[in-house]
Structure 1
Amino acid sequence: MEIVRPHSHRNLFSSNDAASAPTIPLYRSAPPLEVRLEDFESFAIDRLRVLKGISDGLSRGKKPDEMEKLVSELWKVNMRHQHASEVLNKDIISHFVLRLVYCRTEDLRKWFLSMECALFRYRFRFLTAEAQRAIMDEFDITCKAVNIMEFESIKEKLGQVARSMGQPLPTGDAIFYKVPFEDVPELVAGRRVLLSQGYAYVAMNQVVSLVATLFRSQLSKTLILTNRKWTSSIREQEKHRLTPIVEALCSSYLGPDFSQPKEYAEISLKDIDQLAKTSFPLCMRHQFDKLKEDHHLKHGGRMQLGLFLKGVGLNLDDALAFWRAEFSKKVGLEKFEKEYAYTIRHNYGKEGKRTDYTPYSCYKIISSTPGAGDHHGCPYRHFSEENLRAALSRMGVNSRAMEDVMNKVRNRHYQLACTLTFEALHGVPCDAGINHPNQYFNDSQKILQPKKDSST
């Protein structure tokens, strides 16, 4: 796959090839086509939205039918293309770009492998039986359907397996495949398949397990090979062009940048104390409280809280007044104006490069490493369990919701823990999940503002 800057590239398949190509690409080798540099990144981001959506849905414990609906919608929204003939190319290109992105460490490979296999499973289930058999042929699965005589001889045992799983009893027209048991470890481990003399009898609606095992094995091997190529040659050869994109993609925040307040244009300085109690996420509320208590925050805290306040609508004059009122109590007015006011103006694009700085996303906050005396970072990640429980209790999280939050924290699902906190405090589901502190604030205000308006 060659990356080029021109604004044209040829299709991966000719019209004749497209008709015979499998419905789902198997991504066995990189495609022989040219890719625009802008497509290289944008296609990967679109697919990453799908994979991260799947990850979030699975982490939230969505039911199988809910996951099928979610995956279908994620794919439809993110993987479309203005030219229908390019949809397949986008699918293949995006996979190989993300393969390059996620081959680089064991943790990245593990996540990508898990999410791509989950995506493959759902896409396979959406296919017709004929299309599924075509995929099996592509994998060169040589197993044959069980004939009538053998089916009748094991029908009773197949019925026992079906009853144990609460499924209908198999009928005479049911299709079963006889495969070596080691080819379907997932079904064997879950006791969802009949075993006899070293073979497993796999129903047609279970074939996805067989195919997904082969897909996973293939992808796992190619990720290792891709990593070797990346470290031995690609990273250095593309250090000025692709390498910065590849190394940034896995940590990309995919939502709005919140550099400017959009829905609530401006917040008043006199309302900020109340808003902190009702609509600030824990990371910002903790820093806000520590600022009020200590009248000081270190640089990391000033940046994290300051950009958040900018994003929710605190204008520059009010921001200077807010920070001045607190810091002057500890360092004095003169020192504040000399050492701290410049940074505040800089964040608002009024000093230095005049850059419109963006509030930090959850990913950036979670990835930070606060030191002694720092109060920035993600409380769900960095607090002890005792301190986190106390902080959540002060926010008003009840004991039942508290345990759900702590379970997510133990499994390192910090954004889901924040999402559950939001749901507990606001009494409504947050299906999109919390991905940014400013999103938390905006979503909170959407819920609370109508109530406030109706009470006045």
Structure 2
Amino acid sequence: MQVLRSKQQSSYRPASRVDKYELSFYNVEPTDTVSLDDFYQLGFLRSQFHKRLLELTGKTREEQINIFAAIESDSQFRPIMTKRGDQASHWIYKLACAKNHELARTFVNSEVIIFSFRYTDATLQQQTAFINKNNFAYDDPDDSFKKKIKNWLQWQQVSDSTLSEYGNDVNLKDYFLVPWQRCPTLIQQRRAYLCGSVAVVHRKHLCRVFETIMAERLQKDMDTAANLYEKLSKTDPRICTYLEAIIRQPEVASKDVSIAGARINNSNVDAFAAASFPLCMMMIHRHLRRAHHLKYEGRVQYQLFLKGCGMGLEETMALFRGELTQTVGDTKFEREYAYGIRYNYGLEGKRANFKPKSCRSMISGPAPSTSDQCHGCPFAWMQKDELRHALIETASLTPKEADEVYDTLVEGGGKKCEPACAVMYYFRHGGDISFNLQAPMNPLEYFVKSRNYYSDPETLKQREKEQKEREEMKEAKEMKEMKEMKMEGEKGALQSSVLDSASGSSSSLPSSLPSSLSLSSSSSLSLASQMMDIEDLVPGEEKAGALGEDSGAKGVEMEIESKP
């Protein structure tokens, strides 16, 4: 593909019935010439099309088919629904994602999903043309095989409903011979008949075979695209700037949550945790930062919470990769942990749209059994001293506030975890009473209310006022401490002077003491007793003045009688 430096009007028009995309594995790189504007626009539209696929998670197959059709019919995607637009946008976005390992994996999965729905929606003629063009299946079985196939399939107990559709006449054109390595899942599910080194696969199951082939090819293509990206960064950095702009587009937050203010990501998650996380998530985040590891229950609980807060997969993956690789290494992280993150985001396995765990589920769930576990609700499983320490150190409450939270927790017998958490929210948010103490809570609800509180203009003014007052109080406290330190220094100097005089001569008094104060040379009192008497003589802040020169000062007499 050649990219023109000059700007020109896009040549990619809305798709017509004739010009609509075809089923493709995108084996051949397009040779079109496009402008920089078209280059960016096509890549950006492909990225947005991929993000819309998240709407399919948690739906039935019939619902997914209808949703996918609605996405493709969206007018904004018309430029990439043409043959040229589909090919060009695929290659441009593949090049943009190639440099990032996680984006590359997501790209492959999304393209396989797109192909699957398009193949299912294609007509019989379109499917046949695709099969013949790519030559993935052997020639159709001959007549002798045709006569035996039905009995063989029944003998193998293949769970294929199409057998009953034809009765005794098995349609020759509906079965294909495929290398068994291409369809191990179909064989395992007894949806294909294994005959030697080939498998007999019905037409409606060929899509599973093609999905496997496409995923393998795209994974190889990503390595080639990554090398091309490196070359472009040296020879044509301007192209790389456009590619980076394509993948920098912000992701849309979950529709279930309306978050006011800034968006949470890997770079600001610490600030969000300190300001707006409930105690359970604060403790998990703190444990992750300190131990660089989380047990399974903690990982699931925290990842689903971050997903609900609007933190994208790439950001969550970066957070956990940065911490976990410090203890388990890159290889083990990719093999054992990365899949779980993608699974929780609905991009692996059954692709379910998992919701963040509720307070009730965490309270009733299993409590941590070892010191390296931190999942669940801390109000439910922590003892008083441990909980009080967490409220003071982690949640930054005062001891008095921590005691009040604990009193709410144990009020009336049992443990009222949700009301206690609501009281903690009250203290941490300037007396905000957004929560009903009797209503069930959710960690995500806590987060959303906290962000709305901090984003409110009146709250911002109040916070600025409180911050100013805190700074003034801090400055006054520092001044007071400096004054006390100065007085302590003067007091220490005075005591040192008295010690030196007492040890040097018992017949003469230090010049700083009144002349009428006399110490008997035969006194048997200890020097410590003498110092205590002097302290009693000169109270408080008057010591410096009372222990001045003799001029203008009244004498103070003290007689110390000698013991016989």
Q: What is the TM-score with the length of structure 1 in the denominator? A: 0.55
Is 1:2 paired with 2:18?
no
Alignment of 1:33-432 (within 5 A): 33-58=32-57, 60=58, 62-77=59-74, 80-81=77-78, 87-141=82-136, 143-159=138-154, 164=159, 169=164, 171=166, 172-174=169-171, 175-231=174-230, 233-239=231-237, 241-255=238-252, 308-309=260-261, 359-360=262-263, 364-365=264-265, 368-370=268-270, 374-375=274-275, 382=285, 411-413=343-345, 416-417=353-354
Aligned residues of 1:9 and 1:33 also touching (Cα < 8 A): no
- Return the offset for 1:125: 1.5
Cα distance in 2 for residues equivalent to 1:254 and 1:130? 38
Cα distance in 1 for residues equivalent to 2:195 and 2:133? 27
Mark the structure with the bigger radius of gyration. 2
User: What percent of counterpart residues are identical?
Assistant: 16
Cα distance in 2 for residues equivalent to 1:8 and 1:151? 56
Cα 1:372/1:249, change in 2 over 3 Å: closer
For the residue of structure 2 that corresponds to 1:3, the secondary structure is strand
Matched residue type, 2:265: I
- Return the offset for 1:204: 1.1
For the residue of structure 2 that corresponds to 1:146, the secondary structure is coil
Task: Name stretches of at least 5 consecutive residues in structure 1 with no aligned partner.
Answer: 259-278, 285-307, 310-358, 394-407, 425-435, 442-456
Give the total of aligned pairs. Answer: 309
Aligned residues of 2:2 and 2:33 also touching (Cα < 8 A): yes
Cα distance in 2 for residues equivalent to 1:128 and 1:373? 52
Which runs of 4 or more aligned residues in structure 1 lie more than 6 Å from their structure 2 counterparts after TM superposition? 18-22, 386-390
Aligned residues of 2:139 and 2:177 also touching (Cα < 8 A): yes
Cα 1:155/1:374, change in 2 over 3 Å: same
For the residue of structure 2 that corresponds to 1:177, the secondary structure is strand
Cα distance in 2 for residues equivalent to 1:124 and 1:387? 37
- Return the offset for 1:32: 1.4
- Return the offset for 1:64: 2.0
Which structure has more RCO (C-alpha within 8 Å, separation ≥ 6)?
1
Task: Name stretches of at least 5 consecutive residues in structure 2 with no aligned partner.
Answer: 288-296, 306-339, 348-352, 362-446, 453-564
- Return the offset for 1:225: 0.6
For the residue of structure 1 that corresponds to 2:164, the secondary structure is coil
Cα distance in 1 for residues equivalent to 2:277 and 2:106? 23
- Return the offset for 1:179: 1.9
- Return the offset for 1:250: 3.0
Cα distance in 1 for residues equivalent to 2:116 and 2:272? 46
Aligned residues of 1:101 and 1:247 also touching (Cα < 8 A): yes
Instruction: Point out the more displaced range, 371-380 or 131-140.
Output: 371-380
Aligned residues of 2:193 and 2:199 also touching (Cα < 8 A): yes
For the residue of structure 2 that corresponds to 1:24, the secondary structure is coil
- Return the offset for 1:184: 2.3
Cα distance in 1 for residues equivalent to 2:190 and 2:177? 16
Instruction: Point out the more displaced range, 35-44 or 222-231.
Output: 35-44
Aligned residues of 2:55 and 2:67 also touching (Cα < 8 A): no
The superposition leaves residues 408-433 of structure 1 with CA deviations (integer Å, 9 ceiling, x where unpaired) of 97944299555787xx9xxxxxxxxx
Cα distance in 1 for residues equivalent to 2:27 and 2:249? 26
For the residue of structure 1 that corresponds to 2:176, the secondary structure is strand
The superposition leaves residues 378-423 of structure 1 with CA deviations (integer Å, 9 ceiling, x where unpaired) of 9599487679979x99xxxxxxxxxxxxxx97944299555787xx
- Return the offset for 1:122: 1.2
Aligned residues of 1:368 and 1:377 also touching (Cα < 8 A): no
Matched residue type, 1:365: N
Q: What is the TM-score with the length of structure 2 in the denominator? A: 0.46
